Structure formats: structure tokens, C-alpha cells
């Protein structure tokens, strides 16, 4: 039986200043890279055209959101025959050098969704990020019964078979949280792996504190309702069958 095939999926929106560095460093860890250009209006397209390493580009005509970009990246990865997608943000906050530890965890448990776990005592960690993650962790625990240290990290490995056919409620930033909850309800094991993080002062972020907080809150409300009628009963039924 053939083993897992890994590729990188990098969604990007106006990250021309950091994208190539992420791509080049990522290529040292994984040779197959898919970049989803989510309707960028800066020099992202030119950067990708001049990439010193091979890159498969999925170009979206307009900005559709991180969740939509991930979905298109996963679709491309499946079409190319990959079984696992390693996702990483294009803003430079993650260390591609941490990828081997995540891949090793994925090889030990190919069915698992591997989740990078950032240190929230980092000296440059924005205070808003710490609050947002604790807020998100609380709701995730309520919706799934699982205690996960970092529910908002973009550094993950998705088993593509585990998310095939899932209907996504959201298309933007909060889609990553939805994917975690849906995976937990589907019985996909979630495996945290400690990773490093960097927050340079010139980092480009598209997180909108007020709007994204509202969207995440609305999603959590819907997920709690779904948990009561679908998630918790499904989890209980699965445990009874063991």
C-alpha cells in the first residue's frame, strides 16, 4: 500500500513582502508547493512568477477569503494525487523548519489532523491574539469536548480524505476553526505538535479584530447549536460502538 504523499498549501493575500521567503524555506522541507493567490492586489503575482523554486499557482480572480482559498488548494492537491496538505501562513509567522516534526507525527498517524501549537507566552505575541485563542479554545472545548492548546494556528497537516465532502459554512478566516470542529465530530484524531512562532513588526496581517471577532462569535453560536443536535450525539454514538 503506498504511503502518504505530502504537499504544501499556502493561501496568500497581499503578502508579497514575505511570500517568497516562506516559499523558498518551505521548499527545503517539501518539494511540492501549491500557492493559492486569493485575489491579491499587490506584487504577489509577480513574486510567484519569479520564484526560484517550482510552485503550482492557483489564482483566484478576486479575494474570496482564507477558507475558500484553502478549499481550492485542497481540491488542487487531491487532483495532483496528494493525500495530505501541509498548510502554512504566508506572513512569515511560522517556521517552515518545524514541518519535519509535523510530518513525522502525521506518518505515525496518517488519519490524524496535525495541529501546530504556538507558545502563547512569546514576547512579541500580540495581546489580542492571546485573548482570541483562549476564547476560541473555550468554545472548541464546549463544542467537541476536546482540549486543544491552539485552535487558531494556520500551521497544520490535513488528511485530505478526512475532509472530503464536508460542507463548509464559512469561507474566510474562521473556516479553520470550522474545519477543526467538523473533523472532531467526524472522529478524525487531532494531534497537537509544539511549533515556534515569530511576530515581526512589519508583518502584514489581515485579521480585523472587530469584524472577525463578530464572525467567529456567530460561527461559534451556530456550531454550539449543531453540537447539541449533531456533534455530541454523533460522538456519543461512536463511543458506544467501540
Q: What percent of the chain has pLDDT over 90?
A: 71
Distance of CA 40 to the CA centre of its chain: 19
Contact in structure between 143 and 227 (CB atoms under 8 Å):
yes
Q: Is residue 120 over pLDDT 90? A: no
28-45: pLDDT as tens digits: 999 999 999 999 999 999
Residues β-bridged to residue 192? 115
Stretch 215-220: mean pLDDT: 86
pTM of the entire structure? 0.90
Contact in structure between 50 and 119 (CB atoms under 8 Å):
no
What is the chain's length? 242
89-104: pLDDT as tens digits: 999 999 999 999 999 9
Stretch 52-67: mean pLDDT: 97
Q: Is residue 132 over pLDDT 70? A: yes
The lowest-confidence range among 14-28, 57-71, 194-208 is 194-208
Residues β-bridged to residue 193? 116
Confidence grade of residue 168 (pLDDT, cut at 50, 70, 90) = confident
**Residue 30 CB: number of other CB atoms within 10 A?**
16
Highest mean pLDDT among 49-53, 135-139, 221-225: 49-53
State phi, psi for 59 to the nearest 5 degrees.
-105, 125
pLDDT at res. 130: 66
pLDDT at res. 232: 87
pLDDT at res. 216: 83
Residues β-bridged to residue 9? 34, 87
Distance CA 69, CA 20 (A): 18
Closest alpha carbon to 95 in 180, 193, 13, 212: 193
Closest alpha carbon to 232 in 185, 193, 191: 185
Domain residue spans in the chain? Answer: 6-240
C-alpha distances (whole Å) from 10 to each of 54, 217, 238 are: 14, 26, 34
Strands of the chain, DSSP E: 6-12, 33-38, 56-60, 84-87, 113-117, 156-159, 190-194
Closest alpha carbon to 17 in 127, 78, 92: 92
Q: Is residue 123 over pLDDT 70? A: no
What CATH code would you report for 6-240? 3.90.550.10
Confidence grade of residue 165 (pLDDT, cut at 50, 70, 90) = low
Q: Is residue 1 over pLDDT 70? A: no
Stretch 206-222: mean pLDDT: 78
Amino acid at each position: 500500500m503506498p504511503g502518504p504523499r505530502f504537499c504544501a498549501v499556502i493561501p496568500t493575500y497581499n503578502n508579497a513582502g514575505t511570500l517568497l521567503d516562506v516559499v523558498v524555506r518551505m521548499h527545503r522541507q517539501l518539494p511540492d508547493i501549491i500557492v493559492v493567490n486569493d485575489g491579491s492586489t499587490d506584487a504577489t503575482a509577480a513574486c510567484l512568477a519569479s520564484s526560484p523554486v517550482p510552485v503550482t499557482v492557483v489564482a483566484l480572480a478576486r479575494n474570496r477569503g482564507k477558507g475558500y482559498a484553502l478549499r481550492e488548494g485542497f481540491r488542487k492537491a487531491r487532483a495532483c494525487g496528494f493525500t495530505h496538505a501541509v498548510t502554512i501562513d504566508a506572513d512569515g509567522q511560522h517556521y517552515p523548519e518545524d514541518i519535519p516534526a509535523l510530518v513525522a507525527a502525521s506518518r505515525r498517524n496518517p488519519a490524524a489532523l496535525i495541529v501546530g501549537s504556538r507558545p502563547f507566552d512569546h514576547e512579541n505575541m500580540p495581546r489580542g491574539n492571546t485573548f482570541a485563542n483562549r476564547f476560541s479554545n473555550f468554545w472548541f472545548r464546549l463544542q467537541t469536548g476536546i482540549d486543544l492548546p491552539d485552535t487558531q494556528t494556520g500551521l497544520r497537516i490535513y488528511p485530505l480524505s478526512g475532509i472530503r465532502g464536508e460542507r463548509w459554512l464559512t469561507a474566510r478566516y474562521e473556516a479553520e476553526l470550522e474545519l477543526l470542529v467538523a473533523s472532531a465530530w467526524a472522529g478524525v484524531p487531532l494531534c497537537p505538535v509544539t511549533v515556534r512562532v515569530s511576530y515581526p513588526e512589519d508583518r502584514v496581517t489581515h485579521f480585523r479584530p472587530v469584524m472577525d471577532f463578530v464572525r467567529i462569535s456567530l460561527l461559534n453560536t451556530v456550531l454550539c447549536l449543531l453540537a447539541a443536535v449533531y456533534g455530541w450525539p454523533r460522538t456519543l454514538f461512536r463511543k458506544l460502538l467501540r
